[in-house]
Structures are given as C-alpha cells and as structure tokens.
C-alpha cells in the first residue's frame, strides 16, 4: 500500500523524503506542488528530479476524498459530502463572502460529545479522521473552486474547524493538518484566519496554545453548570470554572486578543434575560479580570430529533442588547446554507455509530429542557 502524501505536514514530508534518500528542499518542492498547485500526478512535477518522481510513483500517492454529493444553496454556500470509507461520510461547507471565502471542515466521522442541539451528535460517532482526510477537504475545495473560477488566486482565505466532530478529541491528526494550512509553502493561511472550535476539552486547549496557537472558538451555549450539563455533556468533566480559566490561559498565546464564544439560542431554554446576566458575570466577574471575548449568538437550526425550537428574533435582540450594553462585543450570526442543511449544527453526514450514541440521544429527547436559573 502506498502512502498518501496529504497525511504529512512539511516536517513529516521531509522525513518521508529523507527515507528515500532525498534532501529537505525536495520535500519543499513536492509540498508546493501538492498544496499550492493542487497537483496529484508526480509526472507533472517538472522541477523534481526524474529519479525522485520514479521513487514516488512506487511508494506514494496524493488522493482526495471521493465526493458523494454536492449541493449549492441559493445564497452561494456549497456543501460537499465526502466518502471516508467503511460506510462513513463527512461534510464540508464553503461559505463565500464579499471579502473572504470560508471553508468549514470536519475532523471526525460523527461526534462523541453529544450536544443536545447538534444534528451531528445525534448521528453518533464512528472514528477520527486522519490528517490527510482533514487536509483533503481543503485541498479539494481550494483547487476545485480555482478551476471553476478559472483563477490561480486563493479562493479560501479562512478555515473553521466547525464541521462534524470535536477537533480537540482528534488532536494528533488535527495539529499536522493545521500546520499544513498555515505553512507558507502550503496554503499560507494566517493564524488569525484559522479557527478551532471546541466544546471545552480543557487539557487539549492548553496543549494547542503551545503546539499550534490559532484562533479559538468555544461552544458555550449555557451560562451555568446545571444547564450546560444538559446541553453540552462534556461540561460534567470540564465545568465552566475550568473552561473559563483555560480560555484566559489560551489568550496569552492566541493570535487574536479575544476568545469567541458560540451560543446557540434555544427558545425558553437559554435565551432569557437572567441567562444573559449570568453570562456577563461569567466572563466579567466582579473584582476579577475576566476573559476578553466576543459572543456569536447562533439561531438554532431545528431538526426533528432535537425536540428544541429556535428563539424568536425579538428574544435574540433583547439578549444581544444586554450583552452589548455590558461592553461585550456581540453579533448575531447570519444563517447560511440552511436550505441545503449546511448551517451551523446541521451537518450530519452518514456515520456508522460505534458508541451507541444514537440510543443515548434518544433517551435525552424524553427529557424536557427547562431554563436553569
């Protein structure tokens, strides 16, 4: 079996080439061909020595993920479903804006966290993706879109690890993938424009700050432990006090001077004025420095299995004003791609559940969520 070179960051590719008796500059040339030019045929890599190309033909390949389907939203959002084998499929979403192009990437086939409001969690969990499977989503999207636009200019300026899965529970594959995205010989993305979203895996947040500090988004969704335990089960292991402390520590290394808190607005559950006041106290405690942050209020995208409902626009506006009046930067996220189930919390793919999460989530649906003051 040959090696998929998408699995390697530049250091990994240099080590691979060294095993072939080649120097590091050859790895750099190869890395550029793969990621900057989107080449998969070694014969096309004209500035590589013929002897190296012949070696690579026998032991390596560059393989994208097979595309099962593509859907294009009325707002220009594109969703791809990729086959990752053994009955599993993952989704990636491209979101075009006037000033940027954002790709939302998956890190796992399914998700084991099981957040109550997330469609992915209701599908269960199968396995972690490899570094190559993570990078392949960017490789395919970037070079496919360039071809369609007949352009050599970069199309994707921002990457968010907000697709299927909890990225920090797949840490060993995540970091090499991030390094490939950031490398000037690869995609050359800014650390400020690559965001890892986590539900709060505290030890891995600390490791990421040391190994590959990129922008950080935290899926908060509740202002107190009692409610967050119901919405984000990981909170039972890493409660809010530990999570907020980890956010403060991360800021010492982060490329941005704030943490983004994602907050899904659930009607009658976490959207009341007392919840906004609790959030203010959480991030701006009296007599303490608090955590520099901004809030993204996310309209909930309903799906039948959740048993939850979207907060009204009026309720979201009241909630946002309370946070803004307290001096917290607050935005209400626009819903993009909801007509093709590509909006936040809607990515489900097709997962062979190995954790019986579907059964657990079914039991959760019998519990009626009520606000916890």
End-to-end CA distance of the chain: 57
Say whether 91 is catalytic: yes
Residue among 17, 115, 247, 344 flagged as catalytic: 344
Q: Which residues of 330-364 are buried (b: 16+ CB within 10 A; e: fewer)?
A: bebeebbbbebbbbbbbbbbbbebeeebbeebeeb
Find the helix packing angle between 240-251 and 273-283, rounded to 10°.
Answer: 50
Tokens of residue 69, six digits? 């389907």
Yes or no: say if 65 and 222 are a contact pair by the CB < 8 Å rule. Answer: no
**Residue 7 burial (CB count, 10 A):** 21
CA dihedral 112, 114, 119, 120 (to 10 degrees): -10
Q: For residue 355, give the DSSP letter.
A: S
Q: For residue 234, give the DSSP letter.
A: G
Residue among 22, 91, 133, 166 flagged as catalytic: 91
Yes or no: say if 315 and 273 are a contact pair by the CB < 8 Å rule. Answer: no
Say whether 22 is catalytic: no
DSSP string covering 127-145, please?
Answer: EEPPHHHHHHHHHHHHHHH
Report the distance separating Cα 157 and Cα 189, nearest Å. Answer: 7
Residues assigned a catalytic role? 91, 344
């Amino acid at each position: 079996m040959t090696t998929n070179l998408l699995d390697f960051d530049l250091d990994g590719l240099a080590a691979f080439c060294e095993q072939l008796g080649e120097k590091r500059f050859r790895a750099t040339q190869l890395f550029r061909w793969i990621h900057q030019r989107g080449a998969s045929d070694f014969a096309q890599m004209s500035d590589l020595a013929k002897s190296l190309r012949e070696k690579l033909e026998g032991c390596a390949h560059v393989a994208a993920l097979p595309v099962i389907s593509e859907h294009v939203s009325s707002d220009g959002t594109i969703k791809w479903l990729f086959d990752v084998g053994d009955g599993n499929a993952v989704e990636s979403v491209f979101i075009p804006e006037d000033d940027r192009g954002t790709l939302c990437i998956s890190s796992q086939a399914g998700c084991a966290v099981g957040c109550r409001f997330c469609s992915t969690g209701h599908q269960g969990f199968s396995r972690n993706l490899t570094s190559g499977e993570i990078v392949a989503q960017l490789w395919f999207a970037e070079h496919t879109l360039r071809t369609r636009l007949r352009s050599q200019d970069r199309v994707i300026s921002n990457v968010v690890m907000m697709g299927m899965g909890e990225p920090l529970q797949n840490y060993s594959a995540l970091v090499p993938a991030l390094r490939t995205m950031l490398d000037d010989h690869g995609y050359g993305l800014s650390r400020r424009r690559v965001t890892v979203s986590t539900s709060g895996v505290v030890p891995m947040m600390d490791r990421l700050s040391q190994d590959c500090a990129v922008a950080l988004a935290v899926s908060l969704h509740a202002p107190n432990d009692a409610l967050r335990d119901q919405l984000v089960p990981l909170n039972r292991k890493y409660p809010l006090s530990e999570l907020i402390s980890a956010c403060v520590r991360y800021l010492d290394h982060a490329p941005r001077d704030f943490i983004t808190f994602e907050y899904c607005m659930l009607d009658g559950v976490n959207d009341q004025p007392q919840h906004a006041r609790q959030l203010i106290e959480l991030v701006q405690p009296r007599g303490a420095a608090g955590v520099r942050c901004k809030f993204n209020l996310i309209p909930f995208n309903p799906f039948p299995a959740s048993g939850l409902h979207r907060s009204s626009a009026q309720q979201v506006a009241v909630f946002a004003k309370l946070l803004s009046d307290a001096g917290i930067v607050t935005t209400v996220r626009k819903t993009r791609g909801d007509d093709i189930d590509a909006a936040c919390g809607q990515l489900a793919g097709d997962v062979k559940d190995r954790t019986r999460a579907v059964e657990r989530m079914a039991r959760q649906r019998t519990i009626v969520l009520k606000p916890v003051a």
